[in-house]
Amino acid sequence: MTTPTLAADVTELLTLLTTGTLEPEELEAATEAVVLAVQDPDAYFEQYLNEEEHGWLRDCGASMTEVALTEAIQQELCRSDKADELYEQISEQFSDPLPAAPASCRYLHEYLRLLDDALQQRGPQPGGYELLEFGDSYSDELQVLLVFRKDTARLLELGQQFGIHVVRPLLS
């Protein structure tokens, strides 16, 4: 049985992670899946995943809550093991792309600092966007998403509540 508080917290988390872009029916379906993953990880695995393709997730002890959330927000995530490619993916999230990174940018922290400065100027909310690391990509790739900066504190709180990896990337 789903508690109203759990479902409300999951709905809030999904809404903040996607900056409110999920359609109501997508949000409802994603909330149900994540709530199941929280309450009964084995039942979530049986209902939404298959052993042949996803058995390795069980073997490595993956959090089914994090897996369910990742599945729900897949379209929002940017992943790469190369800083310049990650910058490009994030830039492509906007109809008006970010300025090209200067040739002097070589290291991830330089790109992240450049992104942080640019993202503060973007978006419909005061403070713009912020880049957060989310989940485990189960590879060498950094996995990030854009959220409204004003929502970051609450997202970090909900991340702790649900035991998922959601953090600000290191800018230095």
Of residues 158, 113, 128, the one with CA closest to residue 16: 158
Chain segment 119-132, per-residue pLDDT in tens = 999 988 889 999 99
**Average pLDDT of span 77-105:** 92
Number of domains in the chain: 2
On whether both 89 and 55 belong to a single domain, the answer is no
Q: Give the structural domain span for 62.
A: 1-75
Identify whether residues 89 and 65 lie together within a single domain.
Answer: no
In terms of domains, do 24 and 81 share one? Answer: no
| Confidence (pLDDT) at 87 | 93
pTM score: 0.91
Q: Are residues 11 and 50 in the same domain?
A: yes
Going through 40-141 in order, the beta strands assigned E by DSSP cover 78-80, 129-134
Angle between helices 4-17 and 64-72 (to 10 degrees): 50
Residues 151 and 131 in one domain: yes
Last residue of a domain, one of 42, 75, 108: 75
Residues 39, 91, single domain; the answer is: no
Same-domain check for residues 25 and 100: no
According to DSSP, the residues that pair with 144 across neighbouring strands are 78, 133
* Percentage of the chain lying above the pLDDT 70 cut: 97
Please check the confidence at residue 165 and state whether its pLDDT lies above 80.
yes
Q: Quick check: 1 pLDDT over 60?
A: no
Q: What is the pLDDT of residues 56-83, one digit of tens each?
A: 888 777 889 999 999 999 999 999 999 9
Confirm if 109 and 131 have CB atoms less than 8 A apart: no
CA atoms of 112 and 124, how far apart (whole Å): 21
Averaged pLDDT score across all residues of the chain: 91
- Quote the percentage of the chain above a pLDDT of 90: 72
User: Any bridge partners for residue 148, and if so which?
Assistant: 129
Residues 6+ apart with CB under 8 A from 58: 45
